[in-house]
Amino acid sequence: MSFIFVFTLIFMIFRIGVTFANGFLVHYATFMASRTYLVIDNNSNSSSGGDQNARNRASIVFEQFPMKKTIPGWNSLIKINHPGSVPNALFIGAWSEYTENFGISDIVGGIKPVALRSESFLGREPTRANCLERICRAMEEVGGDCNVHTTFFDNGC
């Protein structure tokens, strides 16, 4: 009886460790996808012209990680909150939801899968079109115009 108890305890600790390791992998993949979404810009003339390209590139980065090999039944995709899709700019970024079996039996941990969520809300850098609009608006407010290609000052855009 004590052998079964010790074996179950060791197996349960191993199973929890594998679940945590899988969670760290999903967190890192979500962070890297959100980081990609943060910085990708295709020099579009519209302020939202690069968002679709950034979403596609973030999905490619997310899918490069081996979650299908390490997490049984992996079926999640990266989801992107783009500017304008959420009421608060603090929630712009990437997130993913997936399920994983946490327990080893109905008695220890349960047999229902646990829903897990990984979020990385890093935001989105202003595109070059946004920066141009802001600089032109600032120049127009002081009496200038944007008909001439002039660098007013570099504000970090």
Rounded to whole angstroms, the Cα distance separating 122 from 36 reads 10
- Domain extent, residue 131, equals 126-157
Q: Which two tokens stand for residue 105?
A: 């039996």
Query: How many structural domains is the chain composed of?
Result: 2
pTM of the prediction?
0.78
Whether residue 105 is predicted with pLDDT greater than 80 in this model: the reply is no
Give yes or no: residues 143 and 120 share one domain: no
The CA distances from residue 103 to 11, 77, 98, in Å, are 10, 24, 16
Same domain, 65 and 121: yes
Output b/e per residue, 67-102; b: 16+ Cβ within 10 A. beeebeeeebebbbbeeeeeeeeeebbbbbebebbb
**Same domain, yes or no: 29 and 44:** yes
State whether 53 and 78 are in the same domain: yes
Residues 12 and 52 in one domain: yes
Q: Categorize the per-residue pLDDT at 108 as very low, low, confident or very high, splitting at 50, 70 and 90.
A: low
**Given this model, what pLDDT does residue 113 score?**
84
Q: What are the C-alpha distances in Å from 81 to residues 38, 55, 66, 92, 97?
A: 11, 9, 23, 5, 14
Q: What is the pLDDT of residues 5-42, one digit of tens each?
A: 898 889 888 888 988 999 999 999 999 999 999 888 77
Q: Does residue 89 sit in the same domain as residue 131?
A: no
Both 114 and 141 in a single domain?
no
Tokens matching residue 23: 């969670």
pLDDT digits (tens, 9 = 90+) for 113-135: 888 999 999 988 777 777 778 87
